[in-house]
Amino acid sequence: MPAVIVVHGGAWAIPNNLAQDSVNGVKAAAREGMSVLKRGGNAVDAVEGAVRTLENNCVFNAGHGAALNTRGEVELDAIIMDGRTLASGAVSCVKNIANPVSLARAVMEKTVHVMLTGQGANMFAESIGMNTVPTEMLVTQNERKEWEKHKNYVTGVMEDFNSQWAHDTVGAVAVDSAGNVACATSTGGIRNKMVGRVGDSPIIGCGGYADNSSGAVSCTGHGESILKVTLARLILSHIEQGKSVAEASRVSLKYMGDRVQGAGGAISVSPSGQWAATFTTERMAWAAVHNYTLWYGLDPDENLKEPFTY
């Protein structure tokens, strides 16, 4: 069966001056994810490769370009999950790591645990020889300037994610030619978050979930809202009940809006290769490669495409 990769660069009111770079960034990440699959990588390799590309791109709030907490520091969260076995790995509140998704993968593959946090996660990174970087390398001038402007934590969910200063999270889901699914999500969280605050992204079933029996999901949006409705698992439970991937994503995001007044987005894929990119914020940059076509969009109902060649 044809492999599929879908990526997102975060659901929020992306301002026009970041729009083109955001679209270019997600297209590049989707291309990278599909190249990994074409080189013989599996779904886990593909989502890790795609998310690393997004973490390395300063336009997005993950890795380089991460949002800063109230102390003006970087604290990064990430998850990865393998739909074959439900193996998953996550890190939260890590510093000095440029690609937290790869650290999450190491937690999955090299420890008996599912999640490591803060100092412990950084100690583990050191123990496996993972490169560290000075925090300042991860901080963009733009993020430092915006952080200075908005030092008060914003609590209004819709105001937050529809404002043009909040930005959010990257992620990828994939199904490989063997029908195995995987997801990965990575974020700097919310600007001016409290020190130690952990959102949805590294929490299994919230920021992401992957199960070969139903599909894979990566979420973005207001972390506290996503946590309350366990958004990734909610979408998959609607798929299990017979809804299409697109409908399951739509009803789950609507439920989150109705129940806890939270906005966000999700990318989803089923083991048979159905996929969707859905959001309730003003914008979400997303891209997908399926059947030699690169699909992408930013605004609601935007569904552009161009040929994809390997």
Binding site for ligand GLY (CB under 6 A): 168-169, 187, 189-190, 199-201, 220-221, 223
Q: Which of 53, 70, 169, 280 is the catalytic position?
A: 169
Rg of the chain taking only CA atoms, in angstroms: 17
169 is catalytic: yes
Closest-CA residue to 9 (of 42, 20, 17):
20
The per-residue DSSP string of 17-50 comes to HHHHHHHHHHHHHHHHHHHHHHTT--HHHHHHHH
Is 189 or 257 the residue whose CB approaches ligand GLY more closely?
A: 189
Is 8 or 52 the residue whose CB approaches ligand GLY more closely?
A: 8
Q: Please report the sign of the dihedral spanned by the C-alpha atoms of residue 12, residue 43, residue 87, residue 50.
A: negative
- Residue 232's H or E segment, with its range, is helix 231-240
Is 101 or 190 the residue whose CB approaches ligand GLY more closely?
A: 190
* Minimum CB distance to ligand GLY, residue 296 (Å): 21
**Alpha carbon distance 53, 55 (integer Å):** 6
* Minimum CB distance to ligand GLY, residue 221 (Å): 6
Residue 57 structure tokens: 């791109």
Is 187 or 270 the residue whose CB approaches ligand GLY more closely?
A: 187
**Pairing relation of β-strands 215-221 and 264-269?**
antiparallel
Residues involved in catalysis:
169
